[in-house]
Structure 1
Amino acid sequence: MATQHDIALTNALTGIPGPLPPSGVIHVAFPHANRFTIVGNHLAQHDGLSLTAIGIGVYIQSLPAGSQVGIKALAARFAEGETTIAAALRELETHGYLHRTRARLTNGRVVTRTVFCNQPDALLRERAMAPTRVAVPPMRTVEPAAPVSVAQAPVSAAAQAPMPVAAPVPVAAAPMSVAAAPMMTPAVPEPAPVPEEKPPPVRVPSRIAPKPPRRPLPQPRELTPELHRTASALLADLRRHAPELVLSEDDVEELTPGAAAWLERGAHPDAIRRALTTELPQPPKYPAKIVRHRLAVLLPPPLPGAQELAPARRTPVTPFQTCEGCDRAFRSPDPGHCRDCRARYWEAA
């Protein structure tokens, strides 16, 4: 069967007019006679929809009216979960392809009414080009009088009765004859349609949050030869304690400054080893990336010096004393009299 398909495909490629592209997709297209759906490129190549949303939109467009397109029905039909399908339906709803409303039936049951529009832009254009209807108050019109000649027969009494006259109409500058002066009604210009402003396209944020930038590998203040040798030996010895952490020579050379920064901050080699080998993912696909991440994220702070660990000096507080003259409390290092009593004694002296 595979050989027959290959032969048929080769024959179809030879029938394509023009030179074939050197790379990329090559279309072998046959016209559909039945069971096909017309899908616009605005949906199939939408740059704001995810691949799941585009696929679900094409699937819903191919279904007949009345088909079930809820989250449960789509999850039972496809391998994607309900969370993924719900997010895709929200994307289609944001871009105008899908409209979901709650409606109450005559029996009191509340159902979800789903409407799928294959061209949201065309719907917005039709709404914008629809003329806005403006209510114009009706105007009274008077039929123009018949032309009257000079030699006309006498008019009857009924015809001489007063007739209702319309609002005054501005008279033209040129004189008009009696026969050519019918009463005219000013024409009301038809209001121009007001185009509806098209809302700006809404970009649906990606369901995958952007990853934060990777922390740089810590660097020691001074990488001495002795510190370099100890750090490289520590990294090369990791596979003895965790067989999964097999690092190459290039990895050890690249990660040595990070381990040297730990040693420079007073971390014990056993503590570094436990931090790098405890609770590893199984199986670890990229051991060097795991070690680099832990060296950068779990870096301990520098050890505090003697000045930081020294107890803070307390500010001496002046004690309270009781005045020997008025028994008032006042602050003073030595007992005696308060300020007012001292002033009185000085005045008396």
Structure 2
Amino acid sequence: MLRHAIAPVRRYTKASHDVVRHPQLNSDAKVLLLYVQGLPEDSAPKPLSEYAGRLGLKGRAYQKAKQLLTECGYLHEWREQGVRGRWVTEQLLANVTLTREEATRSREGEAGAVAAPPSERPPTVGGPGDRSVGDCPPKEELEEKNLPHPPPEDDTPPSDLAEAEGVLLSLRYVNRDLLLGVREARLLAAAAAEWLRRGVTAADLRRALTTGLPADGIRSAVGFLRHRLLQKLPAARVQALTPVPPPERPATPARRLLVTCPGPGTEHVFRPRAEETHCSRCRTTATYESTLHPVPVPVPVPVPEPWRTRVQKCVSGG
């Protein structure tokens, strides 16, 4: 490929290679970023959507570009309620990636917040890495399944750490001030996993971290979440008592053998419970018939005396 380039002497915008060659930003996001950075210093601030409209970015194209700029740390937003009760959204678009804390300092006008150009900014942690373009990690590094967790200091299962980290990363969708990076979420994952170990569900944990936020905004998402995780930690679950085994039941006696009932009717058998000789049906029938036809009591008949005894009584005058 042939290339012909002439450096402009006027009406140009300095573009960092970190932006032009960024692997995550699409062409719409890059053009929108460079367009806003090239505006005159005395131009009146307008919403980002209006500048996107001048470039023909509308609908999904604008929303996608805005999402990429936000995820990579170039765009930050604050939604606040004004004096008269109206909600106002303030936007900050930078040509370098900023953390939420750095963006807040830049918004408040602190000296030296982002004054140094990108080439002169000291690295945040350690020396320069292998990747020379952009500060936003590749997409595969943001995938939760590929995040290597450091070995836990306690008995927290890795599944609880992964679930807690997922909850922390999802807070950005509830409130933009709670935007966390991957490393920041890993630092707080152990404290959040302790909530899950104490019986709190992921939905309740997310609700506890996003309810009752300060009205004046959050300066540091990491500091705010760490304080809330430690201060509002619920009590540990009371372990259930060891169940007392039920008392042993006495052994069931062996079943008796079947015997033949001598009662009337066809020959039949029954299983006696004790020492009975007839089945229950025959015993019931016999009892019923005895009440209807009671057995008459025999009257004793006097036996006449022998004739010799009578003669002796007559002779003796008896």
TM-score (norm 2): 0.32
Greater relative contact order (Cα < 8 A, sep 6+): 2
Structure with bigger helix share is 2
